[in-house]
Amino acid sequence: MTQSDLTAQAPTDIAVIWKEVLSLRSQVAQCLAKEQELRGELSQHKAFQSAFIESLDDQVTTKKALDITGIKSRTTLIAERDRPDSLLAYTHNGRAVTYSRAGCVAHALARQAA
What's the pLDDT tens digit per position in 17-58? 888 999 999 999 999 999 999 999 998 888 888 777 666 668
Out of 31, 55, 79, pick the residue that ends a domain. Answer: 55
Same domain, 68 and 96: yes
Give me the chain's average pLDDT, please: 85
- Please report, for residues 4, 89, 111, the alpha-carbon distance to residue 35 in angstroms, rounded to integers and kept in the order given: 47, 37, 29
pTM: 0.52
Q: Quote the pLDDT of residue 13.
A: 81
Alpha-carbon distance of 52 to 38, in angstroms, equals 20
The structural domain count of the chain equals 2
Say what the pLDDT of residue 54 is: 66
Same-domain check for residues 69 and 49: no
